[in-house]
Amino acid sequence: TSVATLLGGFRDRLPIIAIAAYYEEGKTLADLGREMGWLKSAGMAGCKVKVGGLSAEADAERVAACRDGGGPDFIIAVDANRGWPVAEAVKFARLIEKYDIRWF
């Protein structure tokens, strides 16, 4: 058995996720939803969303808006860049569990 077979075989296409949903002054939850819809229409399979700059609750609302905008088949990943202490990160993880996050 080849290594390629063990890794799932040959592919001629790979899903690509964007890095977006940055914190910007004036950017609303509706804007985040539209951003995810635009990324999906541009052919992106998903998005890595910036989190960790607000409270766990506020960033969970941002993730919810991204999930709504991208839909259930759109990959959502989140990256806090060590922006929270452990307790806040765990709290955030519990808040976003229902949104089917690919990785945190």
Q: What is the DSSP string of 4-26?
A: HHHTT---S----EEEE----TT
pLDDT (average), residues 86-101: 97
pLDDT tens for each residue of 58-93: 999 999 999 999 999 999 999 999 889 999 999 999
| pLDDT for position 12 | 81
Would you say residue 67 lies in a domain?
Answer: yes
CATH code of the domain containing 67:
3.20.20.120
C-alpha span between 31 and 24 (Å, rounded): 10
Provide the pLDDT for residue 2.
86
* Total domains in the fold of the chain: 1
Across 37-44, average pLDDT = 98
Is residue 3 assigned to a domain?
no
In a domain, 78, yes or no: yes
Strand partners, 76: 47
Confidence of residue 100 (pLDDT cuts 50, 70, 90): very high
48 lies in which domain range?
A: 14-99
Q: Which residues lie across from 19 on neighbouring strands?
A: 48
pLDDT, position 11: 77
Residue 59 lies in a domain: yes
